[in-house]
Amino acid sequence: MRLFIVDAFTDTAFQGNPAGVCLLEDRVPETWMQAVAAELRLSETAFLLGDSLRWFTPKVEVTLCGHATLATAHVLYSTGAAQGPVEFATASGTLTVNRHPDGMITMDFPAKEVTPATVPEGLEKALGVTPVHVSKGDLDLLVEVDSAETVRALRPDIDALAAVGARGVIVTARGTETDFVSRFFAPNVGVPEDPVTGSAHCALSPYWSAKLGRTTLTGAQLSERGGLVRVTLAGDRVHLAGHAVTVISGTMQIQPPS
């Protein structure tokens, strides 16, 4: 079976967020998919069988992943396996992707509204900064801080963040060169820091659209690799757009058990 590594939310190799993409030929055990994801040690590996798409971190299966969906769509378009809109059946419902003439790929994802929350015990100490505002969604905590430089300079205590009790912690601020910036930490699912996180932007989009009064925004994720995510809020959906680059294309040598 074919296996790819794709850098997502970037048009430059070795930037953005690398994802594994495995094109399955038949059903395989979940334990085997988890083992492949653990072997690759990427923040997510996508497994596609027909139109069914699943995502695994090195530790667990997740219900929504933006960059690995973008990577999967890029593989289908770049290999000629797909043209025009593609629908994936996922744990988060049907996700539609489409490629534009300039190579940009747009994904239609569910918006993740967040509501104001009290600051969880230990969060401020774990992050090493004082939050301006804390909100909670169904997946993650969203923490606004005072500036983009504060976001960039974060050196959180990852073990302490794991005790917060959410899939992950999104730290964000208003941007200077982009509309907003963010970083994303998810030690509870085996990802200490994710380089660029599409699913986090499902919460960042409605949050910053409400604050800035616009539905089309650009976010920069300020991880070491970095990446750009263009977002458009459309009711209860978010359109996430970005480029992707294939860096490795090969064949899986270890076959799953029958």
**Which residues are annotated as catalytic?**
44
Cβ-in-10-Å burial (0-12, 13-18, 19+) of 213 comes to exposed
Helix (H) and strand (E) counts in the chain? 6, 18
203 bridge partner residues: none
H or E stretch covering 126: helix 123-127
Selection from 3, 39, 44, 38 nearest residue 24 by Cα: 3
Cα separation values, 61 from 122, 125, 188, Å:
27, 29, 12
Tokens 């912690």 locate to 169
User: Cα–Cα–Cα angle for 194, 172, 211, nearest 5°?
Assistant: 140
Within 10 Å of residue 101's Cβ, how many Cβ atoms? 5
Q: Are the C-beta atoms of residues 149 and 183 closer than 8 Å to each other?
A: no
Burial class of residue 118, CB neighbours in 10 A (0-12, 13-18, 19+): exposed
Give, as one character, the DSSP assignment of residue 14: T
